[in-house]
Structure 1
Amino acid sequence: GSLPTASAVVADMIDAVRHADCPMNIGWSDRGSDWILGSEDYVSRWYVRDSEGCRITQPLKAKDVTGYEVKYRILE
């Protein structure tokens, strides 16, 4: 769902109280672009719904709306 579950919220509150004396510092920094996998190298399973119904597919080459071609095979 789009909202956190009550148990997750309670767990976060308990964690915050337990560690109130040692605050967690989360920082972001620029790591450059060389560690990001390009979409042309990414292979993964996808759940696709089309006019024929629902199928689980395995992309042979990940291409998307950025202009890349999409190839897939149906896993049955």
Structure 2
Amino acid sequence: MELREVFARNLRYYRRKKGLSQEALAHEADIDRTYVSALERANYAASIDMIGKLAQVLDIDPMLLLQRER
């Protein structure tokens, strides 16, 4: 599995675990909902800064978004 796919899977998992919709996560991170959707489908690669921002909203260590095994 490519790292982009790992990130997509983890982003979806932690977003759902926190009980957030894509729209709510996007609002909290000050990004567009369609961007969250594209990230979760592994259509886009997130920057380091974006990984940090999303992790902050999800209240997790950024490393968890890139971790191959949970």
- Indicate the structure whose relative CO is greater, using CA pairs within 8 Å and at least 6 residues apart: 2
With structure 2 as the length reference, what TM-score do the two structures score?
0.24
More helix by share: 2
More strand by share: 1
